Structure 1
Amino acid sequence: LTGTKQLLVRGADLVPPGGGKPIVIEEYRFSGDGSKLLLFTNSARVWRQNTKGTFYVWDLAGKRLVPVSARPGYQQFAKFSPDGRMVGFVRDNNLYVTDLATGAETALTTDGGENVINGTSDWVYEEELDLRDAFHWSPDGRRIAFWRFDQTAIRPFYLVDHDSLYPALVPVRYPKTGTPNSTVKIGVTEVASGRTSWVDLGADKDIYIAAMDFADSPTELWLTRLNRHQNRLDLLLADATSGATRVIMSDSDSAWVDANRPRWITGGKQFLLLSERDGYDQVYLFNRDGSLVRRVTPGGWDVFEVVGVDEQSKVLYFTGAIDGPLARPLLRIGLDGKSLTRISTEPGTHGVQFDPTFRLYVDTYSRAGIPPVETLRRADGTLVRSVAGNLALVRKVDALRLRPPEFLKVPTPDGVSLHAWIIKPRDFDPAKHYPLLLFVYGGPGSQTVTDVWGGAQYLWHQMLAQDGYLVASVDNRGTGGRGAKFMKLTYLHLGRYESADQIAAARWFGQQPFVSADRIGIWGWSYGGYMTSRTVFLGGGLFKA
């Protein structure tokens, strides 16, 4: 509350055994009792992120730095056991546990290698389901549950690496349409004995296990199972000893379902889950057996994020599109579905993190053109103090005297109104004609038009504006924040409606008196790159670049 600071670790003290200089901390994590720190350094990239490196444990009282493993090889996803006495980690696609008192290292799996992956994920799960860290400790620290992938059946797809004098072929286990995915299994290993039980995932083997963890119980797991088509999500409970499972709830859709995860409350007796079953992302309350208690949130607009549940006060904190898809206000509602209350009052985007007691939260707040600041607030939103004013960046941005983005709505021939923003030069003259560059992403559920600080990309767009360009972005049909019908219209027709909307938007902008209709360009990356090429091709000369 006071902002008083306490030095916990001197960087100069973090010299590993036999090392000549301190390590560089890239990530850190406290043990449950706060007596130790798990430090991550020397990282290297795996696919998209730096998820392998070297882990050390720092004993705060003893001021001693020890490596998690003395053996060669990168480690991944190291984490303390709940009692802080052990650390589990992945190395070379196998799971290990280190006893911190003795330094003894034990392998829990031994079959990992080129084809078999334990405790981390294959390319598909990393890319499509955002799964990298693929093991969990049980609440009592006696077991570890993990994913096991066998990608033997997946043929390599060769990428050409031109970043050298002679190009090299890089194989990626990439399953194409109609070919097998990795065979997935869920194992539960008893740390003391090394005994592994395998979870019954059902008769259909062509599935994804999108998420998994212990279900507020040391002896029972929950897991979400997606069919290959990804239009059905089953929530299962599994016995950690026998592996026996039962389906307690299912969510399905004619297009697709998102791989949402349960949030367990009331000591595991109930759980909350996001679902679009009523046309918008809403929070539903279920009993542990899967029976529906009620929809908690009011419906009619999307819930963006469940921030937390104050079980003592029986209230849910979340962000949602109560004002439309552009902002992210903090809201509160009772678990009985009553007393919806707005907590944040400032327009824009609020990223919220509560303390465990739900008395206080840190609010990371920004708007389009306004850099983020952090404040400490009470649960009702009242300000306690500033945490990070970001003054250096705020002053630099203010000194540029930029025109903030203007939000507007763009009509289309189909009668749909699309959200958009436009950035104009600082000395904008409505009597002049300016070239226009459209920025597009446009993929399912995405948004480029939000009231939030845009970082380096925003500043690059502003730089173009200072060179005399207009820069605009439009969220086409298929983007997020406007309900399932608006988003899933593009199902089985990816690109059709999105490109039509971008073309309609470019034509509308071209009709504005300050836009040079013969000087319109478009750019985007990833799905936006696909959208750019398709939209230019279909635009019939509308786009000049």
Structure 2
Amino acid sequence: MKKYLLLFLIVAATPHAFTQQKDLTLEEIWGGAFTARTLESLKSMKDGLHYTILSKDKARNEVRIEKYAYETLELTETILVASPESDVPYFTSYSFSEDERKILLSTEEEKIFRRSKRGIYYIYNVEDKTIIRISDKKIISPSLSPDGSKVAYMFENDLYYLDLTNGSTTRITTDGEKNAIINGITDWVYEEEFGFVRAFEWNADGSVLAFLRFDEREVPEFSMDVYGEGLYPTQNRFKYPKAGEENSQVTLHLYNLQDASTRQIDLSDSYYIPRILWKHNKNELSVRTLNRAQNHLKMYTVKADMGSVSLLMEEKDKAYLDITDDLTFLEDDSFIWTSERDGYNHIYLHNPDGSLKRQLTSGPWEVTRYYGYDPGSRSIFYQSTENGSINRDVYRIGINGKNKKRLTLREGTNSADFSASFTYFINTFSSSDTPNVYTLHKASDGKKVRDILDNSALRERLKGYKTSPKEFSTIEINGYDLNMWMIKPADFDPSKTYPLFLFQYSGPGSQQVANRWWASNDYWHQMLAQQAIVVACVDGRGTGYKGRDFKKMTYLELGKYEVEDQIAVAEKLSEYPWIDADRTGIWGWSYGGFMASNCILQGNETFELAIAVAPVTSWRFYDTIYTERYMSTPQDNPNGYDDNSPLTYPAMLKGDYLLIHGSGDDNVHVQNTMRMIEELVQANKQFDWAIYPDKDHGISGENTRLQLYTKMTNFIKDNL
């Protein structure tokens, strides 16, 4: 009998008939009762016709890499099995070499920060089925060379490589030191804000390694108490550059494996180096740099043999520029690039010398994801908001900017996972009333090949509970039509009055009002709505997907226009006859906590309640890259920092205010909440607060979320 892929995780309980609709409970929400089934993570094979998945059998302590055909979803080969009886250790993730003859296996991984981890890693040879342990120590970010003959990695802040042909290990750098010098991976702030960890790259033939070196000796050190379970707490000390303080001095180096020489590249006019990427030409490295204000980007070409540097292209902005991975070099090293230069994020084609060849997409809408380029069909694939800023669709367009075709047709949120050859894509679709549906399509025309997985069982299960539709609309606030959703009680009666509870995030370029399936917070909002509360969310000025000017109008004034908008929203909705104007609340997490805090203070005549989870209370406490991108430095923009800080307005508190933070938050430090508490105490204001020991920015683990949301629910019940 043929074996077919079970492409999903069955999490929700089997649905059954209900005689009457039940209330959602926090225990069910945070116990996973409504978790949607999802696809296993898959990796497309080079032929574009097959993919692999990691299949786990916890009962047998077994894990397998299995190969399937896209067209049929049929298992065609088991590439690797790790079991107690085999020589292969149990692994949790894997990646192939470029030729797919070797596999990098990850074991015993432990988290460092948001993206970084260290672990024990192995190289498995697919042809002779042998396995090699890279190092006896836990290492970081191993990467196979293009021909699979070597693997580079970082250990104790130095860069190494293992030659798999003879088993020899070469130490490339020798000056690595904790909280001082880092070679080959990023420091905390680059990892958090530029979104990458591995800071080294092999050239096309594996003869040169380009890497970044971080000198963080002048960066101020931050310390966090770790309470743990022992008799004495310990301290976690790491370099964290707060706004206006010193950053790491970052330099670019090229290591030549043939003669074991290292060359430092002169990029003296750069401040940040957020991306490096080799071109098709093995001798040419592209390097992107930013000034400290992050409004002037330069892309250079570095010649590996000479060490020479030439400017390839540059962009400037009156506010700031975002860093993305939207860059593809074609065979002749012309390149595809995304930019907001015409006021919306679009796709451009540049000549090998950096000059603009043509703009490929245009219009008053945003390209939200660039999927890549298929040289066979000479087509580019992308996702966009062309059918409304709260929706997403997948498109293809020719490299000549013609023959654009919409590949997804259902209104909601569509995303795509393309095969390596761009023959197929798996479409993930959801909307506010349809949980994730997975289907296989032809990339040429979007034609559906077959259904893979849906969540009809979850939809049926939810019919047994009291829920209400998300009602999408726009609301005119301060001269702008802002996107809004609203959830009313299932038994809504317009002759009655209800309290209003706003949810928002509001950070630059963010979006909360989107036509997609529910996250855990949506279930909580549904639960609140069924307890006779109207819940609403509005994306104000400064949020994303409505063009450059709308997003960047909050530049230098974070917390000004966003707060004005949320106060105006509450006031306008309170004019509805079925809203009780004297019972208005707001909540948010992180940037949303910053907003909720400002709203209960500056909008003290409008809001009666606010919950701030892990809030920034002064941008002076937050990191350089994120904060200065939007605010410049405190030295250059002191009023922007202080005029919009909740720390400036503690005496204005009138309503009920709940502050929540994790003491182990390495991102938004608990210092923010502690300073807010002290200001409120000195203003003789009463408030509620909770600190979660050793919890990071997500405040999660075991029963933590259940306890947290129980606390917030009770606070709302008691005070709104």
TM-score clears 0.5: yes
| Structure 1 residue 364 displacement after superposition | 1.6
State whether residues 449 and 475 of structure 1, in contact with CA within 8 Å, keep that contact through their aligned partners in structure 2.
Answer: yes
The alpha-carbon distance between structure 1 residues 398 and 198, as it changes in their structure 2 partners (threshold 3 A), is: farther
State whether residues 115 and 191 of structure 2, in contact with CA within 8 Å, keep that contact through their aligned partners in structure 1.
Answer: no
Residue 181 in 1 paired to residue 252 in 2? no
Residue 9 in 1 paired to residue 80 in 2? yes
Question: 233-242 vs 55-64, which deviates more?
Answer: 55-64
Residue 327 in 1 paired to residue 391 in 2? yes
SS at match of 1:479: coil
The alpha-carbon distance between structure 1 residues 433 and 166, as it changes in their structure 2 partners (threshold 3 A), is: farther
State whether residues 115 and 197 of structure 2, in contact with CA within 8 Å, keep that contact through their aligned partners in structure 1.
Answer: no
Residue 67 of structure 1 is matched in structure 2 by 133
Q: Which amino acid aligns with 2:313?
A: M
| Structure 1 residue 15 displacement after superposition | 5.5
Residue 410 in 1 paired to residue 475 in 2? yes
Runs of 4+ in structure 1 deviating by more than 6 angstroms, as ranges, are: none
Residue 151 in 1 paired to residue 216 in 2? yes
| Structure 1 residue 163 displacement after superposition | 5.3
The alpha-carbon distance between structure 1 residues 282 and 404, as it changes in their structure 2 partners (threshold 3 A), is: same
| Structure 1 residue 13 displacement after superposition | 5.4
| Structure 1 residue 423 displacement after superposition | 2.0
Pairwise mapping of residues 71-470 of structure 1 onto structure 2 (< 5 A)? 71-72=136-137, 74-114=138-178, 115-161=180-226, 168-202=234-268, 204=269, 207-261=271-325, 263-379=327-443, 380-390=445-455, 393-400=458-465, 402-412=467-477, 414-470=478-534
- Matched residues in 2 for 1:14 and 1:171: separation? 42
**Residue deviations 1:59-86, cap 9 Å, x none?**
33444443221x32x2111122111222
State whether residues 216 and 264 of structure 1, in contact with CA within 8 Å, keep that contact through their aligned partners in structure 2.
Answer: no
Residue 500 of structure 1 is matched in structure 2 by 564
What is the count of residue pairs matched by the alignment? 535
- Matched residues in 2 for 1:14 and 1:50: separation? 31
Give structure 2 stretches of 5+ with no counterpart: 1-70, 610-720
- Matched residues in 2 for 1:392 and 1:191: separation? 56
SS at match of 1:530: helix
SS at match of 2:78: coil
State whether residues 16 and 67 of structure 1, in contact with CA within 8 Å, keep that contact through their aligned partners in structure 2.
Answer: no
State whether residues 511 and 539 of structure 2, in contact with CA within 8 Å, keep that contact through their aligned partners in structure 1.
Answer: yes
The alpha-carbon distance between structure 1 residues 504 and 94, as it changes in their structure 2 partners (threshold 3 A), is: same
Identity of aligned residues (%): 38
State whether residues 265 and 311 of structure 1, in contact with CA within 8 Å, keep that contact through their aligned partners in structure 2.
Answer: no
The alpha-carbon distance between structure 1 residues 100 and 427, as it changes in their structure 2 partners (threshold 3 A), is: farther
- Matched residues in 2 for 1:144 and 1:506: separation? 55
Pairwise mapping of residues 12-51 of structure 1 onto structure 2 (< 5 A)? 12=83, 22-23=89-90, 25-51=91-117
State whether residues 327 and 338 of structure 2, in contact with CA within 8 Å, keep that contact through their aligned partners in structure 1.
Answer: no
The alpha-carbon distance between structure 1 residues 97 and 392, as it changes in their structure 2 partners (threshold 3 A), is: farther
The alpha-carbon distance between structure 1 residues 310 and 511, as it changes in their structure 2 partners (threshold 3 A), is: same
Q: Which amino acid aligns with 1:181?
A: N
SS at match of 1:535: helix
- Matched residues in 2 for 1:400 and 1:377: separation? 34
Q: Which amino acid aligns with 1:152?
A: R
- Matched residues in 1 for 2:273 and 2:240: separation? 18
| Structure 1 residue 171 displacement after superposition | 2.6
The alpha-carbon distance between structure 1 residues 484 and 392, as it changes in their structure 2 partners (threshold 3 A), is: same
**Residue deviations 1:280-311, cap 9 Å, x none?**
11111111111111111023221111112222
State whether residues 233 and 251 of structure 1, in contact with CA within 8 Å, keep that contact through their aligned partners in structure 2.
Answer: yes
- Matched residues in 1 for 2:496 and 2:224: separation? 47
The alpha-carbon distance between structure 1 residues 37 and 402, as it changes in their structure 2 partners (threshold 3 A), is: farther
Residue 595 of structure 2 is matched in structure 1 by 531
State whether residues 329 and 350 of structure 1, in contact with CA within 8 Å, keep that contact through their aligned partners in structure 2.
Answer: yes
**Residue deviations 1:446-481, cap 9 Å, x none?**
111111223222222222223332222110000000
- Matched residues in 1 for 2:226 and 2:578: separation? 44
- Matched residues in 2 for 1:398 and 1:247: separation? 60
The alpha-carbon distance between structure 1 residues 65 and 535, as it changes in their structure 2 partners (threshold 3 A), is: same
- Matched residues in 2 for 1:85 and 1:149: separation? 27
- Matched residues in 2 for 1:261 and 1:364: separation? 21
The alpha-carbon distance between structure 1 residues 400 and 199, as it changes in their structure 2 partners (threshold 3 A), is: farther
- Matched residues in 2 for 1:251 and 1:441: separation? 29
State whether residues 329 and 349 of structure 1, in contact with CA within 8 Å, keep that contact through their aligned partners in structure 2.
Answer: yes
The alpha-carbon distance between structure 1 residues 75 and 474, as it changes in their structure 2 partners (threshold 3 A), is: same
| Structure 1 residue 238 displacement after superposition | 0.3
| Structure 1 residue 433 displacement after superposition | 2.3
The alpha-carbon distance between structure 1 residues 75 and 249, as it changes in their structure 2 partners (threshold 3 A), is: same
| Structure 1 residue 120 displacement after superposition | 0.6
- Matched residues in 2 for 1:14 and 1:416: separation? 65
Once superposed, what is the RMSD of the aligned Cα atoms? 2.1
- Matched residues in 1 for 2:454 and 2:249: separation? 49
**Residue deviations 1:174-217, cap 9 Å, x none?**
22344321111111112243211222213x35x00010011122
Q: Which amino acid aligns with 2:340?
A: E
State whether residues 328 and 373 of structure 2, in contact with CA within 8 Å, keep that contact through their aligned partners in structure 1.
Answer: no
The alpha-carbon distance between structure 1 residues 166 and 468, as it changes in their structure 2 partners (threshold 3 A), is: farther
- Matched residues in 1 for 2:457 and 2:117: separation? 31
The alpha-carbon distance between structure 1 residues 173 and 266, as it changes in their structure 2 partners (threshold 3 A), is: closer
- Matched residues in 2 for 1:523 and 1:16: separation? 52
**Residue deviations 1:464-518, cap 9 Å, x none?**
2233322221100000000011111111111110001111111122222332222
Q: Which amino acid aligns with 1:336?
A: N
**Residue deviations 1:284-343, cap 9 Å, x none?**
111111111111102322111111222232222111121221111012222222233222
State whether residues 14 and 65 of structure 1, in contact with CA within 8 Å, keep that contact through their aligned partners in structure 2.
Answer: no
SS at match of 1:505: helix
Q: Which amino acid aligns with 1:463?
A: M
The alpha-carbon distance between structure 1 residues 399 and 120, as it changes in their structure 2 partners (threshold 3 A), is: farther
State whether residues 439 and 473 of structure 1, in contact with CA within 8 Å, keep that contact through their aligned partners in structure 2.
Answer: yes
- Matched residues in 2 for 1:264 and 1:153: separation? 36
| Structure 1 residue 129 displacement after superposition | 1.1
Q: Which amino acid aligns with 2:603?
A: G
Q: Which amino acid aligns with 1:155?
A: P
The alpha-carbon distance between structure 1 residues 271 and 527, as it changes in their structure 2 partners (threshold 3 A), is: same
| Structure 1 residue 122 displacement after superposition | 0.8
- Matched residues in 2 for 1:395 and 1:78: separation? 45
Calculate the TM-score normalised by the size of structure 2.
Answer: 0.71
